[in-house]
């Protein structure tokens, strides 16, 4: 499971803290809405942004979907 906790979401950036349910890691993922770029800072576990993190961040912005302040998504591997 991946847990998302909102840090900021405005016209320029969407930033969430991400953690996994197995204690493998955590970090901060940001999607720059102007440059359309995803970035990550934190534990190596999320360094290459598991597809669910990338998909959630990119597609929600592209489709204009508001994300809740906290949510859990799927399973990892």
Residue among 6, 57, 17, 67 at smallest CA distance from 33: 57
Nearest to 17 by CA among 77, 64, 8, 61: 8
Provide the token pair at 8.
């900021």
Indicate whether 76 pLDDT > 70.
Answer: no
> Which one has a higher pLDDT value, 24 or 30?
30
Entry pTM: 0.85
Mean local confidence (pLDDT), 7-34: 92
Instruction: Give pLDDT tens digits for 33-70.
Output: 999 999 988 887 766 556 778 888 999 999 999 999 99
Rounded CA-CA distance 5/27 in Å is 11
Q: pLDDT-derived band of residue 2, with 50, 70 and 90 as boundaries?
A: confident
């Amino acid at each position: 499971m991946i847990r998302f906790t909102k840090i900021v979401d405005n016209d320029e950036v969407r930033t969430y803290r991400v953690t996994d349910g197995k204690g493998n890691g955590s970090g901060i993922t940001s999607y720059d809405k102007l440059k359309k770029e995803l970035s990550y800072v934190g534990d190596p576990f999320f360094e290459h942004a598991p597809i669910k993190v990338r998909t959630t961040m990119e597609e929600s912005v592209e489709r204009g979907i508001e994300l809740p302040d906290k949510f859990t998504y799927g399973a990892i591997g």
